[in-house]
Copies of this chain bind each other. A is one copy, B any other.
Amino acid sequence: MSYTFSIEDLLRGDRRTMARAISSIENGDGNADAILSSVYRHTGNAYRVGITGPPGAGKSTLTNKLARWYRKRNVRVGILAVDPTSPFTGGALLGDRIRMTDVELDDGVFIRSMASRGSLGGLSKKTREAADVLDASGVDVILLETVGVGQSELDIAGAADSTIVVLVPESGDGIQAMKAGLMEIADFFVLNKADRPGAEQAVMSIKMILGFRPHDETTWLPDVLKTVGSEGKGVQEVGEMILKHRSHLEQNGGLRVRRRQRMKSRIEEIVQDQMKVEFWNAGRLQKLSDDLDSVIALQKTPYQVAKELINTL
């Protein structure tokens, strides 16, 4: 499918152009490079909010309610929902369908699921690029919602200006969340479904673990907010906490530091991806395939084969 990408259409926020541009990036089709190059210089205006947490914590509902809160303030919102695909049922498709019944769409909200198609490595890169498209199209806030608690998803959420970790009373005693690496990336926590039993203990437990964190007066201390996403309870406080964190980051220069660090990782990632593509040409893939039998037969070690491959550079 070929089409002509128009940066002007994107800049005026044409939804069809936004959708197509993100599809090009997701599929890595012929338009992707041109889109990315022309989009980048129009970025930097949107504030990026990562929303993550374990499956079933109610992130989608909370994200939708938060989008609605923004809309009341006339803020344009983009939502990127990272949704690992099941190859046999089409996870992202299903995810989209679930969302559609669940959210009130208006022209000021653009929602898109990013599917992994089995290669989460590239997903973090593609999600950032899709965020650039939304940024250039004029949205004010981008909500990066990641389903799952793995490192790749953490990378995506952590690539935001503010990161919210959503937990529920059932998430366990905070040690589970800590194990999942969620504690390190949270700018603040939301305990969702806070009308369920155990909510107070869960909040205490998260706060106790946060207490271990080294800090002084100038440090931002992550707080724990309680919400009932399905009823919209506490959503306003979440929105206000994002604003508070943003103004904290802007005042102490933290936003600049974060964006610089984020761009550094991003360039490293582009370099690594590109090297990988260039390295694995037909000849090297053939050598790898030929040598596999010797490795399986314990005649060569995987390290020898790797070294021989690198030496062909």
Contacts and interface: CB of A to CB of B under 8 A. Distances in A.
Nearest to A267: B302
A83 B152 contact: no
Interface stretch (A1-9, A99-107, A167-175, A223-231): A167-175
A276 interface: yes
Interface stretch (A40-48, A67-75, A246-254): A40-48
Q: How many copies does the complex hold?
A: 2
A271 B267 contact: no
A183 B88 CA distance: 9
A308 to B, nearest CB: 10
A89 interface: yes
B302 A40 contact: yes
Given A150-B154, A274-B310, 11 more contacts: A54-B55, A56-B176, A91-B178, A98-B175, A150-B150, A256-B296, A263-B302, A264-B292, A267-B291, A267-B305, A272-B276
Interface string A264-306: 1011101110111011100000001101100110100111111
A232 interface: no
A313 B95 CA distance: 42
Interface stretch (A15-23, A206-214, A236-244): A206-214
Interface size class of A (residues with CB under 8 A): 35 or more
Contacts of A54: 54-55, 149
A91 B189 CA distance: 19
Contact of A267 (B95, B184, B295): B295
Interface of A: 33, 36-37, 40-41, 43-44, 54-56, 83-84, 86-89, 91, 94-95, 98, 116, 120-121, 147-154, 170-172, 175-181, 183-184, 209, 212-214, 256, 259-260, 263-264, 266-268, 270-272, 274-276, 278-280, 288-289, 291-292, 295-296, 298, 301-307, 309-310, 313
Contacts of A306: 267, 270-271, 274
Of A89, A120, A267, A274, which is in contact with the most chain B CB atoms at under 10 Å from its CB?
Answer: A267
A86 B178 contact: yes
Of A86, A278, A280, which is in contact with the most chain B CB atoms at under 10 Å from its CB?
Answer: A86
Of A153, A178, A183, A271, which is in contact with the most chain B CB atoms at under 10 Å from its CB?
Answer: A271
Contacts of A171: 55-56
Contact of A55 (B83, B177, B310): B177
Nearest to A259: B296
B151 A151 contact: yes
A285 B304 CA distance: 28
B180 A212 contact: no
B149 A151 contact: no
Contacts of A301: 36-37, 40-41
B267 A55 contact: no
B263 A149 contact: no
